[in-house]
Chain A
C-alpha cells in the first residue's frame, strides 16, 4: 500500500506536538504538587517528562527518515496554583489517553509501511500501558 508521505509527516508533526506538550505539562505539574504526596510523585513525573521527550525525539527521527524536518507548533500557556496528586494524575491520564488515541488514529494511514507501522504499533502499546498504570493509581 502506498502511503501519502505529506499527510503522514503532518500526522507525525501533530504526534510530536502532543508529546512535547505533554512534556511541558508534566514538567510544570511536577512543581505545582504540594504535600507529602509530592515525594511519591517525584519519580512518576520525572519518568513522565523523560519518556515524553524520548517519544518526541523518536517521532522527529521518523520525520527525518521520511526526508523532512520536524515542525513544532505548540500554543500553550501553563498556569495554575498548587495542586494535589489526585488532580495531577487525572490530568496526566487525560493527556496520555489523548496521546494513545492520536497514535491509534494514525495507524490506518501508515499500515503497509513496515517501519512506520511497527513504530506506531509500539507507541500504541507503550501508551496503552501508561494509561492503564495511571488509571490503576487513580482507582
Chain B
C-alpha cells in the first residue's frame, strides 16, 4: 500500500480514538460505565452522533453496551485506549522536553498523531526518551547542547538535512 493511503486505512480513526478516550474518562467515576449523554458532553457533540459512532465501535469490538444503553470499553478497547494514551504521552514529552515546543502546542500536536504512529515507532520513541533522561553523560550533553544550539542555515541553503530544499524556509513559508 502507498504510504499516504495508510492514513485512511488506519483502523483506529481520530474520531474513534477520542470516543474511546471519552468513554474511559467518563467511566472512571462509574466503574467503567458511561452514558451516551455524558460522552456527548465530554466530546461536545450531539447524542445522536455519539450513538451512531458507538455502533461502529461496537462492531469492531472496542465497546460493550448493556440493556440500559450504558457503554463500557471492551478489553480490546481498553488496550487501544492505553496504547493511544501512551503514544500521546511520549510524543508530548518529546515535543516539550526535547524539542522545547510550548506545552499547549505539544498538547495539540501530540493529540493529532497519538492514534497514527505505529507501535514500533512509539516504542522506539520511549527508548530514545529513556536514553535522553538516563545517567549517560552523553545524553545529558546532547540535551544541554541542543538547548543552546543556535541553528544557522548555510548560505547555500543545502545541508545534510535539507538536501537542496531548505526545510525551515518551506515550513515557514507554508505557515501551517
A95 touches B36 (CB 8 A): no
User: With A and B bound together, what is the CA distance between A14 and B46 in angstroms?
Assistant: 7
8 Å CB contacts to B: which residues of A43-98? 73-76, 91, 94-95, 97-98
8 Å CB contact of B52 from A95, A99, A101, A105: A95
Cβ proximity bits B45-59 to A, threshold 8 Å, 1 near / 0 not? 111111110010000
What is the interface residue range for chain A against chain B? 10 to 19
- Is there a chain A Cβ closer than 8 Å to B96's Cβ? no
Whether A21 and B37, one on each chain, are in contact in the complex, defined by CB atoms closer than 8 angstroms, is: no
Q: How far is the CB of A78 from chain B (nearest CB, A)?
A: 10
Give the CA-CA distance A71 to B90 in the complex, in Å: 38
Does B36 lie within 8 Å of A98, measured CB to CB? yes
Further pairs besides A25-B48, A98-B48: 10, Cβ < 8 Å: A21-B48, A75-B44, A91-B52, A91-B55, A95-B51, A97-B69, A99-B47, A101-B36, A102-B37, A102-B47
11 pairs from A and B in contact (CB 8 Å cutoff): A18-B46, A18-B47, A18-B48, A25-B48, A75-B44, A76-B49, A94-B48, A94-B51, A98-B50, A101-B36, A101-B47
